Amino acid sequence: MTAHGARAVERCRLLADTPFSETPGSLFRFWLGPAYRRTLEQVSQWMEEAGLTTRLDAAGSLVGRYEGLVPGAPALMIGSHLDTVRNGGAFDGNLGVMLGIELVSALHEKGTRLPFAIEVMGFGDEEGSRFAAPMICSRAMAGLIDAIPEDMTDASGMSMGEAMGDYGLDPARLAEAARRPDELLAYIEPHIEQGPALESTDGQIGVVTAIAAQTRQRVTVTGQSDHAGTTPMTLRQDALTAVAEMILAVERHGAAGGDTQVATVGHVEVLPNTSNVIPGEVRFSLDMRAATDAARDVMVDAIRTDLRFIAARRGVGITFDTPQILPAAACAPELVERLARAATGVTGRPAQRLLSGAGHDAMAMVDLCPMGMLFIRSPGGLSHHPDETVRVEDVDLAHRALLAFVKEFQS
């Protein structure tokens, strides 16, 4: 076992505490916040110690570059994201950035330069924890967006443009984050699995074949607020009881596809949220994912039809807003095979191949260059949870597999 895997784990744990979190006692780091700034300062230092030069791109992501034998050569990009969900875990996203740094550190220690450059990427906003639009930074890099959403604000009412300005970024220059396809050879994202599949087979690392299609919606159900003590049950237009039935319908449709699709209501906002007032309005999130675009679309249509039927039967209004539709993203077959060979070489067993139900920056990067993903076992299948963890020996295997992959990639 090398020191590189252990150091990657140690650094992830360090970044999970103050001053790298907005909330003492738990981890929450959002794009362009004070904790995010301190994190980029620290990660920049680690990058430079490993032999990388660093810069901040126009979207506020951190880019480290290790030049190849010929300066300015196209780059193999390795990385993930540095933001987190609220009360999140230490390794989601962060581990991929640390593994990229450790890969370059291992090369730099031996004075190894490759025919191509290596760039280590720390994307700023994968989770969408501050603004309801995840993957802003990777989508900007892939050229999928060239302007910020004008009407989007955070919980404090600050617009995305104001947040960028406060950080020292110019929102009018967001398009400058876009990269040309000839600048990048491929994008590789090492990431914890965020599920139990590897652990269920006693696997340590695996190779992703594709990322599931996603649709995120915001649903608003409107009834009538009234006195909880004087309004007969038969005359109520209770938005919350309607939503309770809708959530069960969402669960039923998600389960109808077996292991290939999921549907989740994760956030509910009740208005006026008072114990003696019938809820007049409820807003909730709706997250729907499936292995293919077609299967996802069938589920989305079925859920929407069912929810409208429930609303009509209960006499409440319903509207849908769709801030995100992401197509399924297939990993490049050649990268899958190369990563599988590298994983087999360090584990001595056939590489497990997995569909990722979780979204990743790799979904955006597929529009820019070939992409692949390496999964690391998540003990207990936990992710987006403070108890999320990894095993050092698994991370070390991932480090060795990435080194092997890079050595083959240059041939």
Annotated binding residues for allantoate, written as ranges, equal 216, 276, 289
Q: Which strand (E) or helix (H) includes residue 356?
A: strand 352-356
Question: Buried b vs exposed e over 106-126: b needs ≥16 C-beta within 10 Å?
Answer: bbeeeeebbebbbbbbbbbbb
Binding site per annotation, positions for Zn(2+): 81, 92, 127, 191, 384
DSSP state of 169: -
Question: Which pairing describes strands 184-192 and 268-271: parallel, antiparallel, or unpaired?
Answer: unpaired
Give yes or no for a contact between 118 and 66, defined as CB atoms under 8 angstroms apart.
yes
How many degrees, rounded to 5, is the angle at CA 215 between CA 212 and CA 221?
A: 150
Q: Which tokens in the block code for residue 84?
A: 């987190």
C-alpha to C-alpha distance for 80 and 94, rounded to whole angstroms? 7
Give yes or no for a contact between 368 and 187, defined as CB atoms under 8 angstroms apart.
yes
C-alpha to C-alpha distance for 358 and 360, rounded to whole angstroms? 7
CA distances 360 to 15, 33, 138, 365, Å, are 20, 21, 9, 9
Report how far Cα 255 is from the mean position of its chain's Cα atoms: 23
Binding site per annotation, positions: 81, 92, 127, 191, 216, 276, 289, 384
The closest alpha carbon to 95, from 395, 363, 409, belongs to 395
